Amino acid sequence: MIVISCRKCGSENIRKNGFTKGGAQKYHCKACKFYGTPVTQEEKQKKKEHLIEKLLPERVSQRGIARLVRVSRNRVISAIKKKKSDLSHRQL
């Protein structure tokens, strides 16, 4: 069972309260009165970036990675360039 907690106060005393424009479930915390989603966009982006980095050495095509992670191909290319620049800085 997945336990969802409030991202502001950490309380598990929350209830469902509608959806965002993008279709994500919104919640209402009864402890601190916070309305919102338990996961921020920033956290979602970090998870996607991490998944892209894990798929790169597995010889999956750029288009395949874009389909799996549900991002644009340009996003995959920028992740490749970022990883390449990080590696070149480490070698120096």
Residues with Cβ < 8 Å from 53, sequence gap 6 or more?
79, 83
Q: Where are the domains of the chain?
A: 1-39, 41-91
Does the pLDDT of residue 92 top 60, yes or no? Answer: no
pLDDT tens column, 24-82: 889 999 999 999 888 777 888 899 999 999 998 898 999 999 999 999 999 999 998 98
Average pLDDT over every residue of 15-21: 90
Question: Which pLDDT belongs to residue 55?
Answer: 92
